[in-house]
Amino acid sequence: MALDQFLVSVLQDPTDHDVLYYVESAQVLYNPRRKVAYAINGAIPVLLPDEAREVSDAEHTQFTAAGAYVVTGSK
């Protein structure tokens, strides 16, 4: 299920307070600076630092490929 566009426009990482990549195909919000992904359960992003998972180099490449993501809210 896709996230609401307004929600995408305002979301930021809870740790570094910068933009995230919304990777709809993987249903995650990804922080490429910290290489962590936050799950999206249904249409609800789980932006809890303790719930974030580390991302492998292969996933990082997949998540940051051109056209694979939408940038969320900015500072």
Are the C-beta atoms of 32 and 57 separated by less than 8 Å?
no
What is the token pair recorded at 7?
């929600």
Return the SS3 of 22: strand
Q: Which domain holds residue 65?
A: 5-70
We report the CATH number of the domain holding residue 17 as: 2.20.25.10
Decide if 75 is inside a domain. no
User: For residue 59, what pLDDT is reported?
Assistant: 97
pLDDT at 75 over 60: no
Average confidence score pLDDT of the chain:
94
Decide if 29 is inside a domain. yes
Rounded-to-integer distance, Cα 46 and Cα 66, Å: 25
Domain count, the chain: 1
Can you say whether residue 27 is alpha, beta or left, with left for phi > 0 and alpha for psi between -120 and 50 degrees?
left
Quote the pTM value: 0.93
Note the pLDDT tens digit of each residue in 37-63. 999 999 999 999 999 999 999 999 999
